[in-house]
Amino acid sequence: WDRFRERFGVQEVAEFFNSTEGMFALTNHDRGPYLTGAVGHHGLLLRTLFRNTYVPVAIDPETGDIRRDAKTGFAIREPYEKGGEILVAVPSTDAFQGYWRNAQATDKKFVRDVFRKGDLFYRTGDALRRTSDGRWFFLDRLGDTFRWKSENVSTAEVAEVLGRYPGIAEANVYGVKVPNHEGRAGCAAIQLSSTKDGDDEKTFDFAAFTRYVRSKLPRYAVPVFLRIVRASSHIHNNKQNKVPLREEGVDPSKRGTKAAGGENDRLLYLPPGAESYVEFGQREWEDLVAERARL
């Protein structure tokens, strides 16, 4: 909002947050800074009415399944301030018309016996949190969150921080498998803003960028790898496409095998204790494979 308002001189902003299925919708309308960064707002009345309709639950970041209490078998409800995947209470499966000619995908959107036997909820696939005064903030799309150093990392939160740094036009964050390491290491595919001389990479200060991300993010959320891409990763629906980048990972020999035009992308990484990102090539990859290096 702030950058948009400053650039175009817009004082009043109205937006909405929703999915094609339309089971969970939020609106945002503001003339000041109060709702900056939020995707919606619920006043006291709505918070009271929907306290058992829109419910955040804990999710296993590795499997994407709803976490359930070992004793009761019911879902673990999270505090709104912490957030989780938002489930929507529905009276029956008729509340959602379903996906065209895809009954299996439709069935996956519903979950039963969430908080009591026989109840029915719709899975939005979106993780959000809500502040005590009713502001909703987007955390991540289910499946995009990954686990590193025993912590859950939100790709959306990391991408937002990276995108605010001068010189970065776009940041697409995802987790990658690394040999001999548990979880997934953070990788950010960044597209640099064009410079007058066209030498974006030579003029970009990676040391200053490293200091910035370390000052803005928890240690576990700082991307271990950077992939400098030449083009935007958006697809037809204007969403970022993480799939080919995630499938290639950071094995240099796989660059460009899934991501179109990615064979010339530049890979960098942040060694433990280093002050800046440095080149990551075949030798560094082989060191990880042979357990001669750790991240």
Q: What are phi and psi of 187, to 5 degrees?
A: -135, 135
Q: Is there a single domain that holds both residue 100 and residue 187?
A: no
In this predicted structure, which of 12-26, 91-105, 142-156 has the lowest mean pLDDT? 91-105
Cβ-based neighbour number of residue 45 at 10 Å:
9
Q: Please check the confidence at residue 179 and state whether its pLDDT lies above 50.
A: yes
**Stretch 269-281: mean pLDDT, rounded?**
97
Decide which of 103 and 278 is more confident.
278
Contact 267, 255 (CB under 8 A): yes
- C-alpha 217, offset from chain centre: 14
pLDDT of residue 22: 67
**Stretch 245-269: mean pLDDT, rounded?**
94
Q: What is the CATH number of the domain that holds 75?
A: 2.30.38.10
Tokens describing residue 139: 């955390």
**Stretch 154-177: mean pLDDT, rounded?**
94
> Which range has the top average pLDDT, 61-65, 70-74, 240-244?
70-74
Among 141, 156, 171, the domain-final residue is 141
Q: Is there a single domain that holds both residue 152 and residue 281?
A: yes
**Stretch 121-133: mean pLDDT, rounded?**
94
Q: Please check the confidence at residue 176 and state whether its pLDDT lies above 80.
A: yes
- C-alpha 45, offset from chain centre: 30
Among 114, 141, 168, the domain-final residue is 141
Distances (CA, A) of 69 to 18, 76, 77, 82, 155: 30, 6, 10, 18, 26
How many domains is the chain partitioned into structurally? Answer: 2
Q: Please check the confidence at residue 26 and state whether its pLDDT lies above 90.
A: yes
Which residues have C-beta within 8 Å of that of residue 245, sequence separation ≥ 6? 172, 174, 187, 189, 227, 233, 258, 259, 262
What ranges make up the beta strands (E) of the chain?
13-17, 26-30, 40-41, 54-57, 84-89, 110-112, 120-130, 135-141, 146-148, 151-153, 168-176, 185-192, 225-229, 266-269, 278-279
Q: Is there a single domain that holds both residue 36 and residue 94?
A: yes
Contact 268, 280 (CB under 8 A): yes
Q: Tell me, yes or no, whether 295 lies in a domain.
A: no
Q: Whole domain around residue 249: which residue ranges?
A: 146-290
What ranges make up the beta strands (E) of 131-218?
135-141, 146-148, 151-153, 168-176, 185-192
Q: What is the DSSP letter of 179?
A: T
DSSP 240-251: B--HHHHHHTT-
In the chain, % of residues over pLDDT 70: 95
Decide which of 144 and 33 is more confident.
33
Decide which of 150 and 235 is more confident.
150
Decide which of 6 and 120 is more confident.
120
Residue type, 293: A
Q: What is the CATH number of the domain that holds 186?
A: 3.30.300.30
Q: Is there a single domain that holds both residue 157 and residue 273?
A: yes
| pLDDT band at residue 111 using 50, 70 and 90 as cut-offs | very high
Among 141, 159, 176, the domain-final residue is 141
Q: Is there a single domain that holds both residue 118 and residue 173?
A: no
> Which range has the top average pLDDT, 99-113, 114-128, 140-154?
114-128
Q: pLDDT tens-digit profile of 194-245?
A: 754 456 778 899 999 999 999 999 999 999 999 999 887 766 556 788 889 9
pTM of the model: 0.70
100-104: long-range pairs with CB below 8 Å, 24+? none
Nearest to 95 by CA among 125, 58, 123: 123
pLDDT of residue 196: 47
pLDDT of residue 275: 97
In this predicted structure, which of 65-74, 145-154, 187-196 has the lowest mean pLDDT? 187-196
